[in-house]
Structure 1
Amino acid sequence: MEVLLLGTGAADGWPSPFCSCASCSDAARRGEIRGQTAALVDDVLMLDCGPEAPRAAVRYGRSLAHVRHILLTHAHTDHLGPQALLFRSWIEGCGELEVIGPADALDVCRPWAGPDDPVRFVPVAAGDRIAVGEYDVRVLPARHKVFRDGDAVLYDVTGPTGSRLLWACDTGPWPTDRFETVRDAHYDAVFLEETFGDRSELSEGHLGLPEFASMLDGFRGVGAVGESTDVVAVHLGHHNPVIDELGERLGACGARAGRDGEVVHVGDGPRLTGHRTLVLGGVRSGKSRHAEELCSTFEAVTYVATGGVREGDAEWAQRVALHRARRPDSWATVETVDVAEVLKSATTPLLVDCLGTWLTARLDLHGVWDGGDVAAVDADIEELLEAWKACPAPVVAVSNEVGSGVVPATASGRLFRDLLGRLNARVAEASETVTLVVAGIPVPLRG
């Protein structure tokens, strides 16, 4: 399954438009703006549909014309924007739509659908299991309510190829016996709310960081979450710590923060487990091939060749041709040394190959080999790092690991080694996932 995260924020988003706390200021400075949590699965199924979700889909290049099913968790207004049914009715040819959810949530929707609209309402409650198109859906209880106990649910969704996800938003901590409902589920991905950070006392119907970790412990204890499960925190609000600290604390319990516009591929095979991924390795280690495998589940990828164009270099042209031959035809290639600009304006997943070549080009540009100012290269590195952090699309970067060999014999070689080592460390620090490839074998360092 392909899951597009239309939003990953709490009801008031993150940063809150009315707040200037350290958490909101940090998110705003980084340009990490989170809208209300919702997701689009395989372009045909929506998980919640708050008022911001339809416009978010357009923002991320998707149409909702092919959506045939909406799974509503509950009737809180950030999860349910029923006016979308009216807007949909204005467009001819959208076809039949199935709206599934607790009875109270459907009652909110009914006035927005005309008597002749091809909309079918399907009430469900915790414990139900239904076929939703090609998807098998189990309805699970949520510790959350709008009007009364039981009027909020979670969804366990199995896709046509057997991949399986849990959509667990909104809920407070589960009692111990409830974990039996997901025993041996072996989820490929879990989207779990984490609203209040260290302010857990604000609501028993949501999770703070301690409760988030306890929920994961409960899932792991019954075999619902394993080492390969991609655990994504959603419904994130400004009571959380600043983004870097949040990433560290989520990482400590085997999870990561979701990002608006992120595409998560749920299923088998190599996959991205974070928005930003760094792949390191020595010469001919297989690092580029591994990075390509990570991106292979995306239909469209922009391959950023940082060496630029080298006119008259036959050996380089042959190397580029071999790389292109093993990449899918649907991938685009951009040959440029202006990687920061590509990162900031990305609309499709990126594969940047490689940072070592990019650094060489910057050293050449500023004449460092001939006594130029290294400070200009340092400024380029800072610009690249800011763009890496702000990149709106999933991105994988490849870089050489040059710190494990002999000490270079020349001053220029030592300078390059030192600069690249520092660059790799800074990019790794700002990445959710870091992998070292040795003799063709990927060794996870983070994520």
Structure 2
Amino acid sequence: MELLLLGTGAADGWPNPFCTCASCDDAVRRGEIRGQTAALIDDDVLMLDCGPEAPRAALRHGRNLARVRHILLTHAHADHLGPQALLFRSWVAAGFTVDVVGPAAAVDACRDWVGPDDPVRFVPVAAGDVLTVGDYRVGVLGARHKVFEDGDAVLYDVTGPDGARILWACDTGPLPDAWFDDVADAAFDAVFLEETFGDRSDLSAGHHTLAAFADTVAALRACGAVVDATDVVAVHLGHHNPPIAQVRRRLSGCGARVGNDGEVVRVGASGCEYGTGQRTLILGGVRSGKSRYAEELLDAYPTVTYVATGGTREGDAEWAERVALHRDRRPESWSTVETSDVAQVLRSATEPLLVDCLGTWLTARLDLHEVWTGGDLAAVEQDVEELLTAWANCAVPVVAVSNEVGSGVVPASASGRLFRDQLGRLNARVAEISDSVSIVVAGIPMRLR
């Protein structure tokens, strides 16, 4: 099963567009703008919630909703239900019927947005129902959340045709003990659990705080719904949280991580113990903060392998100091591998990777094949193809850092121009097959995709 997160923010997103709190200012500075939480599953056939921002979010992430045959609505709050999308759909001849599944109140809110002949089937559900939706088995679970009355919000237990199983738990507050009986021993491949209020326990019982999130994850582990292989992802994040770097660190304490807008999560038989092979490329100039930002993205994982592609340089004190500074700021639980055979590391990895960086990797391959003195550039290109194949098939989360060298003056030497051209091509090809690409300028990360 493959799931694209269209958004991971609360009703007002994060940052709130009207707010100047420290959390919102930090999100703006980082360029981490989260839209309302929703998702697409498997070739965009099944949609989880459809708020007013979701259709445009799909387009921004390179998808559209033309193939959506089933929409699962959790409830009728405005950030989860934008029924006008059904009107816009009616203006295009889809050629098939779409199922709109959800609590009766949410389904009823959609009826006035379709004509009598529109190919839409409404399927009201309630907690406890189990139904077949296309190729998916869907269990409907209760939520501690309501729009107007108890029972008008639900959660979903979805099993795909490949046997992959996820829990979509958004929106809900802390759940009663009896609720966990319905998911006992589920061993979900991934759990998407809302975490809205950070440390604000005074706002509503219908959402999770950070502490309540950890308690719910612990209860899911205790009943066998979450196991070591489960990817636990926090969504519906709001600005009552502390700055995102702190959220990542605190969620890691319960074995969870932050979801990101545009992230593709792969789960199921082809997955590994981390549940996703998310590939992220971070570009930037020298001393731009790209490596530090890459490290922050992997904060949530208890262990990470840092792949140092630069190797050692005997007698170079300045280089040794640079390496030491990088090593000192990484967590003690991280391990380091110094190698230019990055493809082999990608193929054999069993825990998340940070590759730093592709520029020094390329330099090592150019050195190996003596390209500077007229050697075999075709051999370097073969190495690039091997790297790209390993990157595309890597079974663990991996972040690669690379230099952006094409924005300055034209290098004066032939070797400098060769390196610039080869690295530019390499960056473009890695970006093409990455799930997420960002560039860091003056310490500020900006999401490119």
Quick check: TM above 0.5? yes
Structure 2 distance, partners of 1:51, 1:293, is 42
Find the residue that maps to 2:213 and give its secondary structure: helix
Aligned to 1:78: 79
Q: 8 Å contact 2:440–2:446 — kept in the other structure?
A: no
1:307 and 2:308 are equivalent in the alignment: no
Find the residue that maps to 1:143 and give its secondary structure: coil
1:30 and 2:30 are equivalent in the alignment: yes
1:103 and 2:104 are equivalent in the alignment: yes
Find the residue that maps to 2:202 and give its secondary structure: helix
Which residue identity is paired with 1:259? N
Structure 2 distance, partners of 1:127, 1:217, is 23
Structure 2 distance, partners of 1:165, 1:105, is 22
Find the residue that maps to 1:192 and give its secondary structure: strand
- Residue deviations 1:357-390 (CA, integer Å, cap 9, x gap): xxxxxxxxxxxxxxxxxxxxxxxxx957946x54
Aligned to 2:404: 338
1:289 and 2:289 are equivalent in the alignment: no
Distance 1:144 1:328, change over 3 A: same
1:45 and 2:46 are equivalent in the alignment: yes
1:9 and 2:1 are equivalent in the alignment: no
Which residue identity is paired with 1:80? L
Deviation at 1:347, TM superposition (A): 6.7
Structure 2 distance, partners of 1:96, 1:287, is 47
- Residue deviations 1:103-122 (CA, integer Å, cap 9, x gap): 11000000001100000001
Structure 1 distance, partners of 2:72, 2:65, is 14
Counting only pairs closer than 5 Å after superposition, residues 187-202 of structure 1 correspond to structure 2 as 187-202=188-203
- Where does the alignment leave 5 or more consecutive residues of structure 1 unmatched? 296-302, 353-381, 394-447
Distance 1:351 1:169, change over 3 A: closer
Aligned to 2:434: 349
Distance 1:4 1:385, change over 3 A: farther
Structure 1 distance, partners of 2:166, 2:435, is 25
- TM-score with structure 2 setting the length: 0.72
Structure 1 distance, partners of 2:147, 2:436, is 44
Structure 2 distance, partners of 1:148, 1:351, is 40
Counting only pairs closer than 5 Å after superposition, residues 39-438 of structure 1 correspond to structure 2 as 39-42=39-42, 43-267=44-268, 268-270=270-272, 271-272=276-277, 276=297, 279-280=306-307, 281-283=336-338, 287-291=342-346, 307=362, 310=371, 314=375, 317-325=378-386, 327-328=388-389, 337-338=403-404, 349=434, 386=443, 389-393=445-449
Structure 2 distance, partners of 1:174, 1:39, is 23
Q: 8 Å contact 1:272–1:294 — kept in the other structure?
A: no
Structure 1 distance, partners of 2:47, 2:389, is 29
Deviation at 1:314, TM superposition (A): 3.4
Q: 8 Å contact 1:304–1:350 — kept in the other structure?
A: no
Structure 2 distance, partners of 1:287, 1:330, is 9
Find the residue that maps to 1:99 and give its secondary structure: strand
Structure 1 distance, partners of 2:405, 2:253, is 31
Q: 8 Å contact 2:99–2:120 — kept in the other structure?
A: yes
Which residue identity is paired with 2:404? D
- Residue deviations 1:292-327 (CA, integer Å, cap 9, x gap): 5779xxxxxxx9666277566535642541451475
Distance 1:337 1:238, change over 3 A: closer
Q: 8 Å contact 2:263–2:278 — kept in the other structure?
A: no
Distance 1:312 1:269, change over 3 A: farther
Q: 8 Å contact 2:135–2:161 — kept in the other structure?
A: yes
Aligned residues: 355
Q: 8 Å contact 1:140–1:154 — kept in the other structure?
A: yes
Find the residue that maps to 1:4 and give its secondary structure: strand
Distance 1:38 1:350, change over 3 A: closer
Structure 2 distance, partners of 1:178, 1:347, is 43
Q: 8 Å contact 1:139–1:156 — kept in the other structure?
A: yes
Structure 2 distance, partners of 1:339, 1:202, is 48
- TM-score with structure 1 setting the length: 0.72
Structure 2 distance, partners of 1:325, 1:32, is 32
Deviation at 1:272, TM superposition (A): 3.1
Q: 8 Å contact 1:106–1:121 — kept in the other structure?
A: yes
Q: 8 Å contact 1:85–1:112 — kept in the other structure?
A: yes
Find the residue that maps to 1:202 and give its secondary structure: coil
Find the residue that maps to 1:156 and give its secondary structure: strand
Q: 8 Å contact 1:233–1:257 — kept in the other structure?
A: yes
Structure 2 distance, partners of 1:29, 1:322, is 37
Structure 1 distance, partners of 2:84, 2:119, is 15
Distance 1:392 1:272, change over 3 A: farther
Deviation at 1:200, TM superposition (A): 1.9
Find the residue that maps to 2:248 and give its secondary structure: helix
Which residue identity is paired with 1:112? W
Which residue identity is paired with 1:99? V
Deviation at 1:253, TM superposition (A): 1.1
Which residue identity is paired with 2:104? A
Identity of aligned residues (%): 57
Q: 8 Å contact 2:279–2:435 — kept in the other structure?
A: no
Deviation at 1:234, TM superposition (A): 0.4
Which has the higher mean CA deviation after the structures are superposed, 172-181 or 271-280?
Answer: 271-280
